[in-house]
């Protein structure tokens, strides 16, 4: 029977079976969804990076927050919306380091300082609850906005 002739389901459970052509068995077989999930979890290579969390709570406009290291999630919780603020990226970083920034209040004029390095695509303003992500590329010696 061809797969296009099978009845379509609208919900999948871990006990359901999925048809497959087995390279080891040499014929058509079935596997449970839970067995497929177990296989995929073991076969996938996920990034091992866990971002360190850094908190900052500026209390006046014109604030500067320096990110302490690469691979950091910076959570900025200003006491109110401010006209200006600066996020300074770390001086020490490794290729592919990530800096994620969340801000709970608006910053009308935001400066993202590369701390001597180029920053491409950084936001120039932040709305309340806005966020952005930058990644360091050692080949070009630049931070790039990736999210």
CATH number of the domain residue 97 falls in:
2.60.120
Token look-up 């871990």 returns: 14
Q: pLDDT tens digits, residue range 115-129? A: 999 999 999 999 999
CA–CA dist 78, 57 (Å, integer)? 5
Other C-beta atoms lying within 10 Å of the C-beta of residue 93: 22
Residue 123 · residue 130 · CB < 8 Å:
yes
CA–CA dist 135, 147 (Å, integer)? 9
Q: Domain for residue 1, yes or no? A: no
CA–CA dist 94, 82 (Å, integer)? 32
Q: In this structure, what token pair is assigned to residue 61? A: 């406009």
pTM summary value: 0.68
| Burial classification of residue 75, based on how many CB atoms lie within 10 Å of its CB (0-12 exposed, 13-18 middle, 19 or more buried) | middle
What's the number of domains the chain is made of? 2
* Residue range of the domain that includes 58: 52-145
Q: Domain for residue 37, yes or no? A: yes
- Whether 48 has a pLDDT exceeding 60, the answer reads no
CA–CA dist 49, 42 (Å, integer)? 18
Alpha-helical segments (H) within the chain: 33-43
Q: Domain for residue 68, yes or no? A: yes
Q: pLDDT tens digits, residue range 98-112? A: 999 999 999 999 999
**pLDDT on residue 14:** 81
Q: Domain for residue 15, yes or no? A: yes
**pLDDT on residue 28:** 80
């Amino acid at each position: 029977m061809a797969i296009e002739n099978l009845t379509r389901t609208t919900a999948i459970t871990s006990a359901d079976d999925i048809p497959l052509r087995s390279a080891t068995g040499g014929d058509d077989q079935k596997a449970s969804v839970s067995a497929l999930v177990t296989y995929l979890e073991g076969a996938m290579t996920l990034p091992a990076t866990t971002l360190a969390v850094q908190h900052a709570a500026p209390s006046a406009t014109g604030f500067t927050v320096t990110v302490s290291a690469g691979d950091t999630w910076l959570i900025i919780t200003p006491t109110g919306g401010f006209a200006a603020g600066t996020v300074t990226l770390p001086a020490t970083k490794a290729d592919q380091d990530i800096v994620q920034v969340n801000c709970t209040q608006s910053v009308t004029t935001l400066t993202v300082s590369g701390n001597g390095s180029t920053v491409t695509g950084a936001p120039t303003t932040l709305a309340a609850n806005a966020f952005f992500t930058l990644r360091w590329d050692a080949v070009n010696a630049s931070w790039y906005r990736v999210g």
